[in-house]
A = this chain, B = another copy of it.
Amino acid sequence: MTFYSKRDLQFQLFENLRVMELTRHAYFHDHTKEIFHLVLEAAEQIAENYLRPLLTEMDRNEPKLVNGKIKVHEGMKAIIRQFGENGWINATFPYDQGGQQLPNTLHMAAGFIFQAANYSASVYPFLTTGAANLILTFGSQELIEKFTPNMYSGKWQGTMALTEPDAGSSLSDISTTAYPTEKEGVYKIQGQKIYISCGDHDACENVIHLMLARIKDAPAGVKGISLFVVPQKKVPFGESNDVLTEGIYHKMGYKGAPIAHLMIGSNDGCEGFLVGEPHKGLSYMFQMMNEARVGVGMNAAAIGTAAYYSSLSYAKERPQGRKIGEKDPSKPQIPIIQHADVKRLLLFQKSIIEGSLSLLLYCSKLGDIAHAAEGLEKEEASLLLDFLTPIAKSYPSEMCCLTTSAAVQVLGGAGYTTDFPVEQYYREARIHPIHEGTTGIHGLDLLGRKVPIKEGKALQLYGREIATTIFHAKELSGLSGFAEKLEKYMGKAQQTTLHLLSKAADKTDAFLADATLYLEYIGILTIAWQWLKQGMTAQEQLEKGSSEQEFYQGKIMCLRYFFEYELVKMDALGKRLLSTDMPTLEMQEDWF
């Protein structure tokens, strides 16, 4: 069964995003369009042959903790081996590290295919990539040589070990402690970590944790947190490193990937290796987390995409009811895709997932530019990506809870049963507004940090990019109305932002109380912008008389749908954001 659209992914990358532009940078110079196509083909083959067949099985047969070791689906070994042997884990890394210098944009596009096929299975190698990247970027040559080769090959699993029982959203409260030893850079680690994705399992031979901990007597708060490599088994001889699996979490969805509760150094036998300098761990981790956050948005969009295609195929095949006004019960029933309300549920999904995918790939390209370019181009790409990251993480995460719900609704009663995968997608989508920073945290990040950053420079860049799109769209017949509408909403958003900023000085509580709504507000504007861009690309093709009229007409309809049904939500949110009544501040605990 179709779980994504190859045609749309190619549209997004090559037509809309013009990803080939990246090859003008020296780092990506060797790549050609043919190579990118081959990469996507290869991704599709792994997805179809290895990941997709286990989608349901991995959900029904959760990982188990047996005698202190987590057992995962036995198919995971072959999947991870595929990722390792085919160079996916370090594909974006430099040639001199055995990598292929593949743009992250392509890696994300391939990830989108894997995630749409089987989200749980896709998580394992992506975590390893993130962890290896941290060692590579901030670790010593010794650490790189000691740990990364077996991570690249898929022999070892990588993780990001942040959360503790008392430190979830509040990372500054981490209490896992690192005690200096006589060996430089080597520490004894003690503490516990919870919710560690792939924190232990039997499909790899070792687990390499990139762990946040506080060196003994370090300053309190974020300024005293350091980053360590903490292997589950000692290297090279494989003795236990005293990282014990205390428990496994059972979850609503995303069941194929194990989430572990780890006890570290309970027997005083855990060695960790400092990455980079002391006390800089959180800033190192955040560089990876920003990528991971865009990655979470991609996960959500991918699950939403799989649900969309599942509901689309059902809607085309399921006969039920007749056209409105057709009173003759002897006429055959029509496929439900012909009902306006079902088309609405499908257009809703399509406009959200393709709008999100467009934003996410755009962010990935900004990341590639920030990595490969120099000077102003690098700086601006980096700043704009910072601004867009909370949006790219949260908008797809929140909205794909709703699009997967719409997919369930298209199937009706059948959608609520386990006979179809949409209920699984609905359960799996729900994790994304939580992990890698809850939506509330990202609202604070956008309004409290990214909007004011560098005296509003990120916000200006964002406005400039949208204004450029509007400028060009106004010149295209058929799109000028949409351009003007977006311009109007952009203007309102600027006023609303200024209004909120005016509270920042002396009423911080009131400034940030509705930050989550502001995030949603700017999220809608951002996706409307992405739709105007896609609409321009499509309109040009339609005017050229492209032979793919259906595909491009679908894009124009989504643009129209998004502006008609989604963009207007800014009216309600904007009204709220300008209001002076603050019930969430005045509400008292004992009034609930």
Question: Bound state CA distance, A247 and B384, in angstroms?
Answer: 55
| Closest beta carbon of chain B to A21's beta carbon, Å | 29
Interface flag for A182 (CB, 8 Å): no
Which of B329, B433, B517, B592 is within 8 Å of A409, CB to CB?
A: B433
Q: Does A583 contact B571, Cβ atoms closer than 8 Å? A: no
Which residues in B have their C-beta under 8 angstroms from that of A347? 583-584, 587
- Quote the shortest CB–CB distance from A499 to chain B (angstroms): 16
Most chain B CB atoms below 10 A, which of A316, A551, A587: A587
CB-based contact A252/B550 at 8 Å: no
> Which of B173, B252, B413, B585 sits near A423, CB closer than 8 Å?
B252
On whether the beta carbons of B173 and A587 are closer than 8 Å, the reply is no
Partner of A550, one of B415, B433, B588: B588
Asked if A312 contacts B564 (CB within 8 A), the reply is no
Question: Is A513 within 8 A of B340, CB to CB?
Answer: yes
A413 with B343: in contact, given A324-B509, A571-B572, A588-B550 (CB under 8 Å)?
no
CB distance B330 to A220 under 8 Å?
yes
Contact B329 A221 (CB under 8 A): yes
Q: Cα distance A551–B591 when bound, in Å?
A: 6
Closest chain B residue to A560, Cβ basis:
B583
**Which residue of chain B has the shortest Cβ distance to A423 in the bound complex?**
B252
The segment from A22-30, A161-169, A228-236 that touches chain B is A161-169
Name the B residues within 8 Å of A325 (CB-CB).
508-509
Known A-B contacts A409-B434, A439-B409; the reply to A516 vs B576 at CB < 8 A is no
A38 within 8 A of B: no
Q: How many copies does the complex hold?
A: 2
Q: Is A86 at the interface (CB under 8 A from chain B)?
A: no
Q: A435 at the A/B interface (Cβ < 8 Å)?
A: yes
Q: In the bound complex, how far is the Cα of B415 from the Cα of A568, in angstroms?
A: 31
Contact A434–B415 (Cβ < 8 Å)? yes
Given that A168-B412, A221-B329, A338-B589 are contacting pairs, would A584 and B344 also be in contact in the complex, using a CB cutoff of 8 Å?
Answer: yes
Q: How far is the CA of A589 from the CA of B249 in the complex (A)?
A: 43
A412 touches B430 (CB 8 A): no
Q: What residues of B have a CB within 8 angstroms of the CB of A426 in the complex?
A: 252, 430
With A435-B413, A565-B576 already in contact, the answer to whether A584 and B340 are too (CB < 8 A) is yes
Residues of B within 8 A of A513 (CB): 340-341, 344
Interface of A is mostly: helix
A440 touches which of B163, B341, B589 (Cβ 8 Å): B341
Q: When chains A and B are docked, how far (Å) is the Cα of A426 from the Cα of B405? A: 12
Q: How far apart are A501's CB and chain B's nearest CB, in angstroms? A: 15
Please state if A340 and B433 are interface contacts (CB–CB under 8 Å): no
Q: Flag whether A158 is at the interface (Cβ < 8 A).
A: no
A324–B511 alpha-carbon span in the complex (Å) = 10
Question: What's the least CB distance linking A433 to chain B, in Å?
Answer: 6
> Among the listed B324, B423, B572, which residue makes an inter-chain contact with A568, where contact means beta carbons less than 8 Å apart?
B572
Q: A324-B508, A338-B589, A561-B583 are in contact. Are A408 and B430 (CB under 8 A)?
A: yes
Partner of A515, one of B172, B341, B419: B341
Task: Provide the residues of chain B in CB contact with A586, threshold 8 Å.
Answer: 557
Q: Which residues of B contact A554 (CB under 8 A)?
A: 587, 591-592
Given contacts A347-B587, A413-B434, A433-B409, A571 and B564 within 8 Å (CB-CB): no
Which residue from chain B places its CB closest to the CB of A585 in the assembled complex?
A: B340
Q: Interface code A195-223, partner B: CB below 8 Å = 1, 0 otherwise? A: 10000000000000000000000001110
Residues of chain B contacted by A337 (CB below 8 angstroms)? 589, 592
| Residues of B with C-beta under 8 A to A418 | 249-252
* A401 is an interface residue with CB less than 8 A from chain B: yes
Q: Is A346 an interface residue (CB 8 A)?
A: yes
> Which residues of chain B are near A333, meaning CB under 8 Å?
166, 170, 173
A454 within 8 A of B: no
Contact B417 A249 (CB under 8 A): yes
Query: Which one of B195, B509, B515, B589 contacts A413 once the chains associate, using CB atoms below 8 Å?
Result: B195
Most B CB within 10 A of own CB, among A344, A346, A444, A515: A344
Q: Which residue in B220, B431, B553 is a CB contact (below 8 Å) of A591?
A: B553
In this assembly, does A456 line the interface, its C-beta being within 8 Å of a C-beta of chain B? no
Question: Which residues does chain B contribute within 8 Å of A568, judged by CB atoms?
Answer: 571-573, 575-576
A140 in contact (CB, < 8 A): no
A321: interface (CB < 8 Å): yes
Q: Which B residue's beta carbon lies closest to that of A222?
A: B329
Q: A169-B412, A430-B405 are in contact. Are A512 and B572 (CB under 8 A)?
A: no
Interface status of A569 (Cβ within 8 A of chain B): yes
The answer to whether B320 touches A557, judged by C-beta atoms less than 8 angstroms apart, is no
Determine if A416 is an interface residue (Cβ-Cβ < 8 Å).
yes
* Contacts A/B (CB < 8 Å), 10 sampled: A173-B329, A251-B418, A341-B516, A341-B584, A347-B584, A415-B434, A554-B587, A557-B591, A561-B583, A570-B572
- Given A312-B592, A517-B565, 12 additional A-B pairs, CB 8 A: A168-B412, A169-B320, A170-B322, A340-B514, A340-B584, A409-B440, A426-B430, A550-B591, A557-B591, A561-B587, A568-B573, A571-B575
